[in-house]
Amino acid sequence: MKKALFLLLAPLMAFAACQSKCPENVKTTQEAKMSAEEAILTRLSVRSFKEGAEIPQNVLTDILKAGMAAPSAMDRRPWSFVVITQKERLKALAAAHPHAKMLLSASAAIIPLATVDLSQPGMEKAFWIQDMSAVTENILLSAHSKGLGAVWVGVYSVDERVKAISEFLELPAGTVPFSIIPLGYPAGQGEPKDKFDESRIHWEKF
Ligand SMILES: Cc1cc2nc3c(=O)[nH]c(=O)nc-3n(C[C@H](O)[C@H](O)[C@H](O)COP(=O)(O)O)c2cc1C
C-alpha cells in the first residue's frame, strides 16, 4: 500500500521539486517562438551560468531532438549522446578538460558521441566529422531559442582530450567524444557578435 502511494506521488514530488529549481525563463519547443534566422543571428557562446538551477528533462530531450534532426552523410546518423546533470559529474568532467571550467556553474552538459563505424564506409567515411558538427550547432541553436546559454567546447580532434573524455565516460572502442556542450541559465547578458563581412563573399568566381 505504502509502495503504491509512493509510486503515485513520486512524479508529482519530482515536478514540485523542479518547479522551485527551474527558472521560469526556459521555454519548451512549443513556446520558443524565435525564428531560425533570429536564433542563428543572436546565438552567442555563454560560459557563465546561474548556479543551482535545473533544466527540466523534457527541455533537454527537446534539445536532443533538435540535435538528432541534423543532416548526415547518407543519413547514417552516427551519433549518440551522454547527458550529465549531477553536480559532482559536471565537476569531474570540468577537471578532465583544460578549457571547460564553465561546467562548474552549468546545469547540464551534453556530450555528442560518434560511432565512426556507423558512418558511410569508403572515401566518405570522414564525413562523420561534419555530421557531428551539424549536431553540435543544432543543439546550440535549440538551447538558445529556449532561453538557455551554451557553448561548443572542442574535444575531437585533440588526442589528449578525446582520451581523457573517453576514459571519463568509459566509452567503448570506436566511439569518439566529439564536443562538450555545457548548458545553463545565462548569468549575464552577452552581446552576439556581428560577423557579417561582405568582403568574404565572391559571386560566381573567387
Ligand atoms: C570547434 C570549436 C571548438 C571550441 N572550443 C572551445 C573551448 O574549448 N572552450 C571555449 O570556451 N569555447 C570554445 N569554442 C567556442 C568559440 O570560442 C566561440 O564559438 C567563438 O569565440 C565565437 O564566439 P560566439 O560563439 O559567441 O559567436 C569552440 C568553438 C568551436 C567551433
All cell numbers assigned to 69: 534532426
Helix axes 87-95, 159-169, angle to 10 degrees: 150
Atom of ligand 1 nearest to the CA of 102: 11
Residue 156 grid cell: 575531437
Kindly tell me if the per-residue pLDDT of 143 is higher than 90: yes
Q: Report pLDDT digits (tens) over 60-93.
A: 999 999 999 999 999 999 999 999 999 999 999 9
Copy the grid coordinates of residue 183.
Answer: 548548458
pLDDT of residue 9: 59
Q: What is the pLDDT of residue 1?
A: 53
Ligand 1 in reach of 152 Cβ (< 6 A): yes
The answer to whether 79 and 131 are in contact (CB under 8 A) is: yes
Ligand 1 pocket, residue 151 CB under 6 Å: yes
The domain made up of 36-187 has a fold known as: NADH Oxidase (3.40.109)
User: 180 φ, ψ to 5°?
Assistant: -125, 135
Q: Are 71 and 128 in contact (CB under 8 A)?
A: no
Return the ligand 1 atom nearest residue 98 CA.
8
Q: For position 168, what pLDDT does the model report?
A: 98
Q: What is the mean pLDDT of the chain?
A: 92
pLDDT at position 25, please?
A: 77
Q: How do 79-84 and 149-150 pair as beta strands?
A: unpaired
β-pair type (153-154, 79-84): unpaired
Residue nearest to atom 2 of ligand 1 (CA): 154
Q: Report which ligand 1 atom has the smallest distance to the Cα of 136.
A: 31
Q: Give the residue with greater pLDDT, 39 vs 24.
A: 39
Domain chopping of the chain, boundaries: 36-187
Query: What's the gap between Cα 96 and its chain centre?
Result: 17
